[in-house]
Amino acid sequence: MGTRQRLIETASELLAEDGVGAVTLRGIAKAAGVSHGAPLRHFSGRAELLSAVATRGYADLLARRKTLPETSPRERLTAACHSYLDFALANPAMFELMFRRDLVDADDPALSAAASAVFDTFAVLVAAVPTPLARSGADLRLVAASLWAALHGLAQLWLWGGLAGASFAPSPEAALAVTLDAYLG
Amino acid sequence: MGTRQRLIETASELLAEDGVGAVTLRGIAKAAGVSHGAPLRHFSGRAELLSAVATRGYADLLARRKTLPETSPRERLTAACHSYLDFALANPAMFELMFRRDLVDADDPALSAAASAVFDTFAVLVAAVPTPLARSGADLRLVAASLWAALHGLAQLWLWGGLAGASFAPSPEAALAVTLDAYLG
DNA sequence: TGGCCGAAGTAGACACCGTCTACAGAAGTT
DNA sequence: AACTTCTGTAGACGGTGTCTACTTCGGCCA
């Protein structure tokens, strides 16, 4: 395996084990057994390396969509929503990195393509379900964006731990059930 | 004004002008006209200073709740939702700081109290509205958490710029309208 | 009044970070 | 065989947060 690939691999492991704060260029280099300047031979800077890592994150997220049950469109959509939340809760550091504009190069074509693919396939799933909103004539892509945002906020808020500080501590699944109830009637 | 207060003030201005990446302890000290070590006489570290700044952010957000129209509970809730989104879009750096666990001391009592107050008053607003969800017997605090998450995700996703990369670019208000439609029927 | 002590500010050091540059070797091309 | 390009190393630079002396000033008490 080439050094470039090993750097991405090592960074992913470091990210999963020690969080976003631990994915430092020098730390990755040391963990990969190369000198601290070596990564710059394969990436223009930290942002480019982390973009490659985040791109893999989006790809992993997209891969989950391929394993949805072959049942009704409605059940496929709810499964996808659960899958999104599960991914975020299971890989908190990767999820955080994927949405940290300051750590990642937003103009990276591979990264934005992978991110768009996630949203696009989600929009397709939404469009296949006859929700009350759709029946009332709302723009389907707008419904998809709204539902995705709701999902995303649920994941973000839960990882943040904010609800735990409130006077009660709901489970993320319970909140997701309410969200799906609101959108799918 | 004491140095401590001026440091918080200066940090807030720096945050609003140049973003989260610019609120560095040394930079704040220089902008406030003190030596680079002075802030440590008033704060245990960077996290404590930024916590004080974020606490002010939550207070500002809460203050907006006091200016809601005295109309129907339903209109008050939708106004509060718009207010939340407006705050995030108008103060993106502050909004980001408020939810950046790595920059802030999550155990700061003032900070967590301010954050809880925001959620609690929101929950009160939700409880006053007879949504379809409420009528179907869902836990009202769970509905509040779910709706707040939806709002939060909308703000986060929009600031992230993600929807702009997709094949279409909805306005945040349009997406919020759909979200409110889903919850308030 | 004189002495004292703690709070507040300064300057320097340390370790770490990302990035740049100079250098060395290996590989491949003409 | 000579030359160029690629890959890796080592060192330096400016920046960061934090720690540790060292000053300085203001209030307090004998």
User: Confidence band (pLDDT; 50, 70, 90) for A34?
Assistant: very high
Q: Residues of B with CB below 8 A from A145's CB?
A: 157, 163, 166, 170, 175, 178
pLDDT at B68 over 80: yes
C-alpha dist (Å) from residue A69 to A27, A77, A124, B72, B174: 41, 10, 15, 44, 32
- pTM comes to 0.96
Residue located via tokens 């957000």: B61
pLDDT at B163 over 80: no
Q: Residues of B with CB below 8 A from A179's CB?
A: 146, 149-150
- Amino acid symbol at A104: V
The string of pLDDT tens digits covering residues B106-143 is 999 999 999 999 999 999 999 999 999 989 988 999 99
Query: Strand D closer than 7 Å to the CB of A30?
Result: no
CB contact (8 A) between residue B179 and residue A149? yes
pLDDT at A164 over 70: no
C-alpha dist (Å) from residue B127 to A18, A97, B34: 40, 35, 49
Round and report the angstrom distance from CA (B14) to C1' (D26).
Answer: 32
The string of pLDDT tens digits covering residues B10-58 is 999 999 999 999 999 999 999 999 999 999 999 999 999 999 999 999 9
* Angle separating helix axes B140-160 and B172-184, nearest 10 degrees: 170
Nearest to A111 by CA among A184, A39, A29, A53: A53
Residue A58 tokens, joined = 């989006």
User: Confidence band (pLDDT; 50, 70, 90) for B70?
Assistant: confident
